[in-house]
Amino acid sequence: MEQVDTVVVGAGVAGLAAARLLAGAGARVVVLEARDRVGGRVWTDRTAGHATDLGASWIHGVDGSPVAAAARALGMRTMEFTVGGYQAHSRPVAYFSAAGTRMSAEDVSGFAADVAAVDAALADAVAASRPDDSYRDVTEAALAAQEWEPERAQRVRDYLEHRSEEQYGAWIEDLAAHGLDDDAIEGDEVVFPDGYDALPTSLARDLDIRLGHVVSRVVWSPSGVRVAWAGGEIAARTAVVTVPVGVLRSDALAFSPALPAPVACALSRLEMNAFEKVFLRFPRRFWDRDVYAIRQLGPEGRWWHSWYDLTGLHGTPTLLTFAAGPAARAIAGWDDARVAESVMAQLRRLYGPGIPAPDGVRVTSWGADPFARGSYAYMRVGSSTSDHDALATPIGGVLHLAGEATWTDDPATVPAAMLSGHRAAERILGRAVPIDSLWA
């Protein structure tokens, strides 16, 4: 059987970061990847003639971000787009009222001020929450403290539901009270006109990556690790397993012996979400030119409430919206035309029956992807923020879990994935390694 120093399972950003740092330190490293490409949930499609990021697209705040530092060093072009955190009013947004009419600037600032007031009270409500409280419980406490009339409170309640769905792909009653603790954005947000995949492509350079290897079993003991796939097996002194929480929780990948209690318990409290992107390309732009996004309030916005204008990325009039939480579960199995029609019904309500039909539609299906099983993990009710780090507790001195869900500070992101891979490599090497050696 082939024997190496470290086997890395998964060639997403976490696995590639770990592999690159270990290989750079002189270790013999093999990366086993189920797909026929690297990048995992960073996936850029170019079939429409320009880059479309089907997975991650934003750096949610460039200040202090290792991904921003890598992007700068790699010369990746960025475009400022500070609306990725479901902010109420960080940048110009065309707001429509529940009746479908355009809100005045004054109304919009009133609404944004209401959201800010609830957010200010929310910090205390979250701090005072009990272990089994949901995000609904704490947001209701923060809303009640305002003593508003029902309609005013309902506008902000809707917003809070949508924030839970758009940020974590989870219905507000399923998300833990602390589930959005890491939502702060430091600095501008940016997206990549030429595609996010330049990052994993660069991290993968010169590594021994074996595509099409679906790992089904990891056997570990204090003396080493054996990793098996349908066609074979490889032995190593250590392993880094970076598959998403959805794969870890499925029976597609078995650990022998089973994952020990601290890791298994943390895993049982994290859950893969339901979150899909819907891209609509139009022959012409029919919406406002000077806004980053369009948003509608009220019951009509239950599913489709926010559209992000991607036209600046590549010049083609394009809106991006999300099916998140219950909406994503409901549309699973719909074809693209049916999804587009459902979205268009709302856009016609706001912009009139004469708007053009889209001439290009793309709907992602991360939920049905066997190597993702959702878009990213969220904290179920009953979990705590420390479950993320607990998931990465070293096992038997030989086995390390890494990936976005194993990083407490800003999980569910590309920086979390990169930092978790860096931590796994440092633990294996037993010493500090500068993270910037990833892009030096």
Binding-site member from 234, 340, 372, 398 for ligand FAD (CB under 6 A):
372
Q: How far is the CB of 369 from ligand FAD (least distance, A)?
A: 8
Beta pairing, strands 318-324 & 224-229: unpaired
Is 133 or 182 the residue whose CB approaches ligand FAD more closely? 182
- 134 lies in the binding site for ligand FAD (CB under 6 A): no
For the chain, percent helix, then strand, then coil, each to nearest 5?
35, 20, 45
Strand bridging mode 306-309 / 293-296: antiparallel
Q: Is 66 in the site for ligand FAD (CB under 6 A)?
A: no
Residue number with CB closer to ligand FAD (317 or 415)? 415
417 binds ligand FAD (CB under 6 A): yes
User: What is the amino acid identity at position 302?
Assistant: R
Q: How far apart are the first and last CA of the chain?
A: 34
- Residue 367 as a binder of ligand FAD (CB under 6 A): the answer is no
Of residues 274-333, those binding ligand FAD (CB under 6 A): 275, 277
Q: How far is CA 184 from CA 139, 188, 308, 410, in A?
A: 17, 11, 20, 9
401 binds ligand FAD (CB under 6 A): no
By the rule CB under 6 A, 10 interacts with ligand FAD = yes
Q: SS3 of 73, please? A: helix
Q: 402 near 18, Cβ under 8 Å?
A: yes
CB 83 within 8 A of CB 346: no
**Minimum separation from the CB atom of position 40 to ligand FAD (A):** 2
**3-state class of 395 per DSSP?**
strand
Size of the site for ligand FAD (CB under 6 A): 43
- Does the CA dihedral 19-23-24-25 come out positive or negative? positive
Nearer to ligand FAD, 46 or 217 (CB): 217
Which residues on adjacent β-strands are paired with residue 322? Answer: 277
Identify which of 82, 90, 156, 83 has the alpha carbon closest to the alpha carbon of residue 119: 156
Mark the segment that binds ligand FAD (CB under 6 A) among 128-136, 245-253, 261-269, 427-435. 245-253
Residue closer to ligand FAD by CB (options 249, 349) is 249
Q: Count CB-CB contacts under 10 A for residue 147.
A: 7
243 binds ligand FAD per the rule CB under 6 A: yes
Contact residues toward ligand FAD (CB under 6 A) are 9-15, 32-35, 40-42, 55-58, 60, 84, 213-215, 242-244, 247, 252-253, 275, 277, 364, 366, 371-372, 375-376, 403-404, 412-414, 417
